[in-house]
Structure 1
Amino acid sequence: MNNTTTLALACSAAFLAQVGISSYLPAVTAIAHVLPAAEVHVALALAIYLVGMALPMLLGGSLGERFGRKPVLLAALAVYALASAAIPSAFNVETFLSLRLIQGLGAGGVSVMARVLVRDSFRGALLAKGLSWLGMTFVVALGIGQFAGSLLQVAFGWEAIFYGLAIGAVGLMLVLHRVTFPTLVKVDSQVRAWRIYAAIVRHPPFLHAALAGGLGYGVIIAFNTCAPLILQGRFEWSAAQYGWLGWPISAAYLAGALMVNRFVARAGRLRMMGWGAALVWVGAAVMLLGSLFASGLAILLWVPYCLAVFGQSMSYPISLSVANDEAPVSGSYAMALSGFMHQLMAALIGGVASLLVSQQAWPLAILCMVLAGAACVCVARCHADQNALRKISSI
């Protein structure tokens, strides 16, 4: 299997895992009405899904080293498909959230294997470029998923959203059965996985880069948690109107990812990561100013958010590549650990954002500014780590 095929499969897997985040968002109100439940409780399904994504990532990394990428990926897809198919049968909000957790477990295994496949095929600036393609897939999934979810809801009801996810997982499983994965050297089973993960997370150059990416990711999760009620509540957008918002968001992320592909080798990874984090903060700041001084204009909420998305699409793939390259242990462990950290951070941030859900945008904007500011600090620490390593190597 060549690198192009590997990248295509990894992007397909990442798309499926990420589309589970956004595809149901236009249907939050409809699901709350059917169950019945408060919209705030249904909105928790996003944080629950992210918790599920985080839980299997460390295990997925070690199992991928021991049993190979393909068996682990197929098993994760099977869990995802079964949970997706079962969600429409939920008879109360507790069952709905429980099935979303299981769906997230499958998505977490799928997501970490997608990143590991890219890590197996690329290094250095090429790894950043490969991960930028995964980043494009990520936001296209968020945008198209949101748009497709609104179309499916209008045409067939909210249940069709989850049946569509199940069909997609089964289709990818059928493709994987026909693909031969390269044979990898298995790691020494005498070394416990938790010791490897502990050694990696204590390494500052890995930790700072991974935190920078996770904090920026949290901005996107916070917006997706709060935006449905703000735009469909305060501004009275329909599900279809909210779905259309996915297109400018996707365009913004695509533009940033293309910037990484084109300029990362020339500009340098850390410099581009710093630019991206700064743009996320600027976007959040404009959101806050708009919510305070022109709260009746929805455009001052979603356009600055698109700027933040543009910045995050620049910084996120670079943060992953830097974290992986700076890790003290080779193999899939660093990629699995960074994925676990990002999904756990996203789940916690999504939980905090769900507590801030209201029809006012300023609490969301403040949260996004805090997260983006912390990401900028982590990028600065990455620069300090790099300078320290240069001094040590010159001695």
Structure 2
Amino acid sequence: MTPPSTGPRLRESLQGIPSYKPGRPAPVATGRTMYKLSSNENPFPPLPELEEAVRASVHVMNRYPDLACGRLVGSLSERLDVPVNHFAPGTGSVALLYHLLQAVCEPGDEVVYAWRSFEAYPIAAQAAGANRIQVPLTADARHDLDAMAAAITDRTRAVIVCTPNNPTGPTVSHRELAEFVDRVPSDVLIVIDEAYLQFIRDPQAADGLALYREHPNVCVLRTFSKAYCLANFRVGFAIAHDPVAEALRACTPPFAVSTLAEEAALAALACENRLLEQVEVLVKERFRVVDGLRAAGLRIPATEANFFWVPAGAETDDFAQACEDAGVVVRAFPGDGCRVSIGEPAANDIVLEVGTRWAASHPG
């Protein structure tokens, strides 16, 4: 007798897998503007050159894109002095991370990363069947690289370092990261996530590309989503030595990056100077807001990204609600804190006002 159907059998490792929670959009409010500061998006509208590049490529929407994303990879290869075969393009750096862990992890293997860090890390690790080894941040919201090195076992297949760290903001110094890389076994993949690279102003910050050149087990992730205003087009790339780059390309779905996205990324590289001028504006706004909130009494960790962290602890939801009541939506991590993106000056002014009132009513 055929047993009653219970549906398809799914992998046991996916049970209880956390779901990714995007930043909430700003609600519509009558009589005032609401601002979305919950997703680390670039608030500047796309440059005309980017829009024109997309419009000019619409006529090929009935054709498949270039599987190798050859024009973009070729341009990046020249700019970064990296061999073409060391690139793997994909739909944003986060998708490439998923594919990387699929490439290196067997069921029961381990992935080590800081926590709290980018919330996609535990999802990607569990989706690959790996055990998640979360190493707490230091008291000042930085990676504890000594503790991360100590957490590595013979089952560890990958270690992820997010610098600057999302959602808390601090970067890892080059000296710290170089010493850490030297301590990691050569058969463990070290993933350096540099999604916010262009916002760094600390001269001591880690240079992932330099470490990749020195160590065959280092892979660097970068994206066009933040500094280049292309979050919606999902264009990212990984840089790694063979055979990691080859394995990553094998795990990436074919035709992942559309022609429209590739042309937009090429246009962004062509007008990079103007885009980086916008980044400089955001960095200055970051200094203005963070300095103001610290002067008011809030304990804001060092940040080198396009966001900052408010360690509100048990009152995180209350702080997020106070921001929304004033006109801005921030990203709340209940029990830990709020990540606040740098946005338009008007939105940043609201955050300054809310933060100043909050500090006055929550001394110490």
TM-score (norm 2): 0.29
Structure showing the higher helix proportion among its residues: 1
Structure showing the higher strand proportion among its residues: 2
Please identify the structure whose Cα radius of gyration is greater: 2
TM-score (norm 1): 0.27
